[in-house]
Amino acid sequence: MSNNFQRVFFHEVGHFVAKELNFKLNGIGEAESIELESIGYNNEYLGRTKPKIPAGVDPNRSIVHLAEKLASLVYGCFIQSLFLNQNFTICFDMKGNGIEDLKEWDGILLNFSNKRSEIIKNEEKYFEKLISLKENGHFDSFFGLNPDDYVIKDINNLSLYHLNLNAVRANIDEFLEIHQQYYYEFLNEIKNILEI
C-alpha cells in the first residue's frame, strides 16, 4: 500500500484509539466501522470512522460528551502527525487532511469561543507530550501495525476498504492499556477548560 494509504490508515486508527479509550473510561463513543476509499487520483485516500449509535438514541441529538468528542476529533491528526513526524497543525488545518474534523471541532466550540485558545494551547502541550512519549518508544508497537493486515476490500466497490476493527483492537489492546493514563489527563484538562 502507498504512503498515502498508511497516512489515512493511521489517521483513522487515531480516531479509533480515542473512541476505544472513551469507551474504556466512560462507556461511550465506540466506533462501528472504519472505511478507507481510494478517490482516484494521486494515489489518494479518504477515511471515515463511523460511530456506533446505541439503540434508542437519536443520531441527530446534540453532543452530550463534549470533551470526549473534541478529543476524538483531534486524535486522528495527532496520530497521523506522529507517524509522519510533523506538527499536528499541518493536518488539523483548513488545508490539511483533517479539515472535516477541524470543521466539526470548530462547530462544537462555537458555544465556547472564549475557551478556544485555551483548548488549542492544551492540544499543543499534549502533542508535545506525545512527541516525547514517541521518542521514548511508547508508540513503537503501535506504529509497527501493517495496514495490509487489517484491510478488507469491499467486493461491491473495489475502491473501498473496510478495517477489521476486531483485529485492530486485539493488536492495540496492550498499547491502549498503557496509553490510557495520558489520554485520561488530556480529557480531564479539556473538561476543566470547558468547565463541564
* Contact (Cβ atoms closer than 8 angstroms) between residue 162 and residue 154: yes
pLDDT tens for 85-124 read: 999 999 999 999 899 999 999 999 998 889 999 999 999 9
What is residue 188's predicted lDDT score, i.e. its pLDDT?
Answer: 97
pLDDT at residue 179 above 80? yes
What is residue 60's predicted lDDT score, i.e. its pLDDT?
Answer: 66
Of all residues in the chain, what percent carry a pLDDT higher than 90? 77
pLDDT at residue 2 above 80? no
pLDDT at residue 158 above 90? no
Higher per-residue pLDDT: 56 or 195: 195
What is residue 106's predicted lDDT score, i.e. its pLDDT?
Answer: 94
Assign 3-state DSSP to the chain and report helix, strand, coil percentages, each to 5. Answer: 60, 10, 30
pLDDT tens for 47-82 read: 999 988 877 777 666 667 899 999 999 999 999 999
Question: What is the Cα–Cα distance from 90 to 79, expressed in whole angstroms?
Answer: 12
Which amino acid does the sequence have at 82? L
How does residue 43 score in pLDDT terms, banded at 50, 70 and 90?
Answer: confident
Q: What is the mean pLDDT of the segment spanning 155-180?
A: 95
Torsion from C-alpha of 164, 170, 175, 176, nearest 10 degrees: 80
pLDDT at residue 11 above 70? yes
Out of 39-43, 138-142, 147-151, which region has the weakest mean confidence (pLDDT)?
A: 39-43
Average pLDDT, rounded, for the chain: 92
Q: What is the mean pLDDT of the segment spanning 124-152?
A: 97
